[in-house]
Amino acid sequence: MISLSSIRKPSARNLHLNWVNLPHVTQFDEADITDLKVFRKSQNAELAKSGQKITPLAFPVKACVHALIKFPQFNASIESSINHMIHKNTPHHYCRG
């Protein structure tokens, strides 16, 4: 648990108010994943003998794990008293390579 500075406390309070009062939206973006599909197919061909398969979900999950390791503040929450930030444990050992 990390104590929030005098600057971060009002920021945390406002962030909470905005979360409660503002409408939540969803944004859709498009991405060309042609190269990713080719890579996944080649990996699945190599794994075919073992009966394993890589799904498309594996790639965004791995990207999220790397992002949380690099930016652990995104895996944190503000304590209800708005005095402390609680950093969750980031599973460094889950990310190999």
- Is the pTM here over 0.75, yes or no? no
Which pLDDT value is given to residue 30?
Answer: 95
d(CA 78, CA 88): 11
Contacts of residues 72-78 at CB distance under 8 Å and 24 or more positions apart, as own/partner, are: 78/4, 78/12, 78/15, 78/16
Q: How many CB atoms lie within 10 A of CB 1?
A: 10
Q: Which domains does the chain have, with CATH numbers?
A: 2-94 (3.30.559.10)
44-82 residue pLDDT tens = 999 999 999 999 999 999 998 888 888 887 888 877 777
The whole-chain average pLDDT of the chain stands at 84
